[in-house]
Amino acid sequence: MQAETFFNELWTDYVSIAPQAQKIHDLFAATDGEVINDHVAFRTFANTALRLDLLEPLILAMGHERQDSYEFKAKKLRAHSFIHPNPLVPKIFCSELLVDQLSDSAQKIIEKYTAQVTGKLLDQSVFWSGRHWEMPSWDDYNTLMAESEYGAWLLAIGVRVNHFTVSINHLTTTSAIRDVLERVKSAGYKVNTVGGEVKGTPESLLEQSSTMADRQVFEFTGGDQHEIPTCFYEFAKRHADNQGVVYQGFIEANADKIFESTNG
């Protein structure tokens, strides 16, 4: 699959459960023309037929290369980032929950559902395929939420992109992340304040911020209906180093706070 088709399919699925993203995109498109996407991100479960090591070849097949690897010990996650030779093709950040590091009760909840995953041949469409298991019960969702918000989100939402990212470097009306945030807040959207509204500094070469996730009502197994977080929109400003090269990587401390955008 061509990268352009891949990201178009992702966007269609993404805005179906995060309508705020389309509205914010249009807000900037009206004044800045084309809105360039810096990167997208995915979540998955380790030790399943959807684990990171099985998703990686699908990303590499589109021409991306593995850029770096990351570990989030407190959240019990590991991740890889991927970059494409064409700088206008978005980067990809893919993480997985290390299920075997959770409590026995949390592992049993996750395994009850992920055991339903079939070993079918995977292709790029898996990245917008949603759940491969039945919707969890409200009790299971909340029990897992108490230990891993990431795991509860993934159990309910499934495998799909959790955010797109506005590249502030490509905007024409401003180059400042705080100006972007003021526009977003003025339009009525709540931003992630964990660790401050802006994560990172010009000195670290990457500044990031995000909205808090949209919310949608889902029917859980057993018939309970509840509104839960879905997906969010991110904003990234990349800075040049002393040699004038614009930083293209990710920073674990920033990403750790961005994960909190679905927590609420």
The pLDDT tens digits of the residues spanning 128-147 come to: 999 999 999 999 999 999 99
pLDDT at 23 over 90: yes
Q: What is the mean pLDDT of residues 67-81?
A: 96
CB neighbour class for 232 (10 Å; exposed up to 12, middle 13-18, buried from 19): buried
pLDDT of residue 228: 97
Mapping DSSP onto H, E and C, the string for 137-190 reads EHHHHHHHHCCCHHHHHHHHHCEECCEEEEEHHHCCCCCCHHHHHHHHHHCCCC
pLDDT level of residue 119 (50, 70, 90 thresholds): confident
Q: The whole model's pTM is what?
A: 0.96
pLDDT at 263 over 90: no
What are the backbone angles phi and psi of residue 201, rounded to the nearest 5°? Answer: -140, 165
Domain 3-262: CATH architecture, name and number where available? Roll (3.10)
pLDDT at 221 over 80: yes
How many Å apart are CA 164 and CA 158, to the nearest integer? 17
Q: What is the mean pLDDT of residues 116-121?
A: 82
Give pLDDT tens digits for 77-97: 999 999 999 999 999 999 999
Compute CA distances 145 → 212, 215, 263, whole Å.
Answer: 17, 16, 9
Give pLDDT tens digits for 157-181: 999 999 999 999 999 999 999 999 9
pLDDT of residue 1: 79
Look up residue 205 and give its two tokens. 């070469």
Look up residue 258 and give its two tokens. 């961005």
**Is the Cβ–Cβ distance between 211 and 185 less than 8 Å?**
no
pLDDT at 32 over 90: yes
List the chain domain ranges: 3-262
pLDDT level of residue 31 (50, 70, 90 thresholds): very high
